[in-house]
Amino acid sequence: MSAVPLKAVTLTHVRYRKGDQLGHFLGWVSLVPVFISLGGFVSHFIFRRELQGIFFGIGLIISQFINELIKKNVQQARPETCALLEMCDSHGWPSSHSQYMFFFAVYFSLLNCKGIGPWGIKNRWFMNVLHWSLAVLTMYSRVYLGYHTVAQVFAGAALGILVGAAWFWVVNSVLFCYFPAIEESALGRYFYLKDTSHIPDVLKFEYDNARAARNKACKTN
160 neighbors 63 (Cβ within 8 angstroms): yes
Strand, coil or helix: 13: coil
**What secondary structure does DSSP assign to 155-217, as a single string?**
HHHHHHHHHHHHHHHIIIIIIGGGHHHHHHSHHHHHHT-B--TT-S-HHHHHHHHHHHHHHHH
Packing angle of the helix pair 51-74, 150-169 (nearest 10 deg): 140
- The count of C-alpha atoms lying within 13 angstroms of the C-alpha of 57, restricted to the half-sphere facing its C-beta, is 17
Q: What is the pLDDT of residue 1?
A: 44
Strand, coil or helix: 62: helix
Strand, coil or helix: 38: helix
Q: What is the pTM of this model?
A: 0.83
Q: What is the pLDDT of residue 48?
A: 81
Q: What is the pLDDT of residue 3?
A: 64
One pLDDT digit (tens) per residue for the chain, 221 residues: 456 766 666 666 777 788 878 887 888 888 888 888 777 777 777 778 888 888 998 999 999 999 999 988 888 778 777 776 666 667 778 988 899 999 999 998 898 887 776 665 666 777 778 889 999 999 998 888 888 889 999 999 999 999 999 999 999 999 999 999 999 999 989 998 988 888 777 777 878 888 888 888 887 76
Enumerate the domain spans of the chain: 21-210
Q: What is the pLDDT of residue 121?
A: 62
CA 94 – CA 75 distance, rounded (Å): 10
Q: What is the pLDDT of residue 12?
A: 63
Q: What is the pLDDT of residue 39?
A: 75
